[in-house]
Amino acid sequence: MVTSAYLHLPFCLRRCFYCDFPITVTGEKQTAGIRTQMEEYGAWLCREIRATPILGGELKTVFFGGGTPSLFPVDLLEKVLRTLDQRFGIAQSAEISLEIDPGTFSLEQLIRYKNISISRLSLGVQAFQDNLLANCGRSHRVINIFTACDHLERSQIPWSLDLISGLPDQTRDDWQASLDQAIALNPHHISCYDLVIEPQTPFGKQYEPGERPLPSDENTAAMYRLASETLRKAGYDHYEISNYAKPGYQCQHNRVYWENRPYYGFGMGAASFTRNQRFSRPRTRAEYYAWVEQYEQNKGVLDVAVLTKGDRLLETLMLGLRLTEGLDLSQLITEFGQSSVDQILEILKPAFQKGWALLSPTTPPRLALSDPEGLLFSNIILAELFHHLDPENPVE
């Protein structure tokens, strides 16, 4: 039953130096030509929505990601939401999230979001130091962050604040200061991502992970521990490897991913998981528009392989162990069989001994990674699982 939708709005003022997302750079000036491009993109998005088979009830979560969705005009956003509602229905209580960047919206714009039922905003702050923002090619500066937060506070829309650790020249003191500033601004939710160096980006061509000016592995690990300790002390629940929430403010849409539940995806580069098929759309606008045309002709059928049970088991582990509540073992047994779970527990023996993996004393027991050490070394733990778990044989 599919009740979640991700929509990609790909327009950004400029490309940040670490970013390899599928985007279109607009430049700082919002010209009539850019408006036309956005109208055209919105129209193709609506065509894709209308061509997509209905696979569930009303939508309970909708997420507009980007790109910088706050650059997308509100009237066009409203049209897309109306099309979604006409096609699938949107539940009255749906969580409708939108990503926004400092310096790209006014208070009036936030009020208009409220009027079209946007119920959660996610602000891309990344750092509270102008030199670090400049190093990353971000278009905003610290002063824009404070203005943005003031608007958010006045709008009374629940919001999340994103930070990045492991930036070039970032020190532990910078990171501690960013965490403290974030807490002082009192968002409902905080995400802390560790910088990933993608090969095709300026950072990928310039830097080697773990080497200066990037922080050493030891320092990035220290930053992860610092975030967990500082944010938990401030009353944020560390509910996912990179995410912290005040009670009642976890991101319901992202939980769909981590719980390996299905979701629609719309827009260039957007991924979907429906009918046991994972599919990523083309990453340029021209290719995406051509693909939508073909998709309409194919009556919404995706030409992509269905996941095997073994694939699903590995994905369930990779995604579910990101949540600090972990995985319900009885559900794993029901879906994948006792022998698979026995093998998983056997492979994880060294992780249990190190205190990185835990079994809860609850009934039924849950398998989880410890906070922060297990989460910090989750890549090593998952690599062991992927290496030793034969996707074909252990599954009953």
Q: Could you tell me the smallest distance in angstroms from the CB atom of residue 69 to ligand SF4?
A: 10
Distance CA 5, CA 88 (A): 10
Q: Could you tell me the smallest distance in angstroms from the CB atom of residue 145 to ligand SF4?
A: 14
Nearer to ligand SF4, 203 or 236 (CB): 203
Nearer to ligand SF4, 98 or 385 (CB): 98
Distance CA 149, CA 126 (A): 14
Distance CA 284, CA 21 (A): 10
Nearer to ligand SF4, 19 or 118 (CB): 19
Distance CA 376, CA 356 (A): 9
Residue 359 structure tokens: 């079994």
Nearer to ligand SF4, 164 or 368 (CB): 164
Q: Could you tell me the smallest distance in angstroms from the CB atom of residue 16 to ligand SF4?
A: 3
Nearer to ligand SF4, 11 or 264 (CB): 11
Nearer to ligand SF4, 15 or 225 (CB): 15
Q: Which residues pair with 190 in a beta bridge?
A: 161, 244
Nearer to ligand SF4, 124 or 326 (CB): 124
Q: Do 80 and 45 form a contact (C-beta atoms < 8 A)?
A: yes
Residue nearest to ligand SF4 (CB): 19
Kindly provide the b/e burial profile for residues 105-119, where b requires at least 16 CB atoms within 10 angstroms of the residue's own CB. beeebbebbeeeebb
Q: Which residues pair with 252 in a beta bridge?
A: none
Distance CA 129, CA 314 (A): 39
Q: Which stretches of the chain are DSSP H helices?
A: 32-51, 74-88, 107-115, 130-135, 142-155, 172-185, 202-206, 217-233, 252-258, 285-297, 309-320, 329-336, 338-347, 349-354, 373-376, 378-388
Binding site for ligand SF4 (CB under 6 A): 12, 15-16, 19, 21, 23, 66-68, 101, 124
Q: Could you tell me the smallest distance in angstroms from the CB atom of residue 17 to ligand SF4?
A: 9
* Phi/psi at 314 (5° precision): -60, -40
